[in-house]
Amino acid sequence: MERLRGKTVLVGVTGSIAAYKAAELVRWLVKCGAGVQVIMTRAAQQFLTPLTLQALSGRPVLTDLFDLGLESEIGHIHAARSVDLVLVAPATANTLAKMACGIADNYLTTVLLAVEAPVVVCPAMNHKMYTHPATQDNLAALRRRGVWIVEPASGPLACGEEGHGRLADLSLILETVCRALTPQTLRGKRVLVSAGPTWEPFDPVRFITNPSSGKMGFALAVEAARRGAHVDLVSGPTALPDPPGLITHHVTTARDMEHVVRMLAHEAHLVIMAAAVSDYRPEEAAPHKFKKDDADLEIRLVRNPDILAGLGKDKKPGQILVGFAAETQDLVRNATEKLHRKNLDLIVANDLTQPGAGFRTDTNVVKVLDRGGGVEEWPCLSKEAIARRLLDRIEALGTT
């Protein structure tokens, strides 16, 4: 999560049994390159020691509003002014009530009254406490003020009951932090992204495919969601987990992908086709497994539908359509021809023969071509960085 690199995150830990998960959360934030300052309430220290979080964060943990050393320069105000984001995880019903009412009776709640940075809150409590009208009213008040709420998960609770109140998965919390740190430039927009390969079977256990990992498409979908867009990700078979906080549609064949993409494209402001769709499929798929013998096996291939060309033909006014081109020769010429033939606004082209480019890598080396003949050559970058640059380039078109 490169979005966290160089950011300062203040983590507030309150008195929930889920406080022990704060240690792993702090560890992940530091691993992502963030500087972490922890504040613990007195109740939180009953579940987890400040020494643990100090060791993980590399900074003294703030606990006492009246500590003469830490407060010699009005430390709580300095803490509020020096952070990029405040993350309260876990957040108890008591702390939520104090936040909603503006009560400042400990180090954390005092900082929260003074902070101007984004605030992310992760409730964790008994399900009856969470669903109580008072708690829901407090959460509604915080939402109105722009606080990001990470809804708790359902499942077994520490009290032995089961329900809605478990601290959300750490991956969802981290993704929400990234979104809160990202300008919401695509809020109100619908974005459709395709990713991964397609599988074209010729019997029940064998298929034709390509080495696409789906990483580029997934990175684009995540970045669009971080910018506030409603994102539909249409993915062929990959080993990647579904990105948190957006809708993933799983498909297998090119015809499956065409059906889902065409259904969703009508409402999309932006369509990015990053999937490596198989150009051909077996004419027939055998109902039973082919048995190996001494004879050669011949399979007749037929063309799959050209999803991107179909989208370009039916593109609605104002919609932006972006394609990808993976080539091994004549990169710019082939990509330019594809750009115009398929009525694209931009095309991202990469030469599979270059080091750091192509399938199953965490990096890529691309050229971005536009309809006016412009060609931007980008250096070898992580796919997350390419996703950020590409969406910046798309937003510069001004029609999303």
- Which positions are annotated as active-site residues? 159
Output the six-digit token pair for 377.
């050559």
Distance of CA 342 to the CA centre of its chain: 29
Is the Cβ–Cβ distance between 267 and 228 less than 8 Å? no
Separation between Cα atoms, residue 142 and residue 122, nearest integer Å:
12
For residues 310-342, b (16+ Cβ closer than 10 Å) or e, as one string? ebbeebeeebbbbbbbbbeeebeebbbebbeeb
Output the six-digit token pair for 46.
């009953």
Return the axis-axis angle of helices 107-114 and 93-101, rounded to nearest 10°. Answer: 40
Is the Cβ–Cβ distance between 201 and 207 less than 8 Å? yes
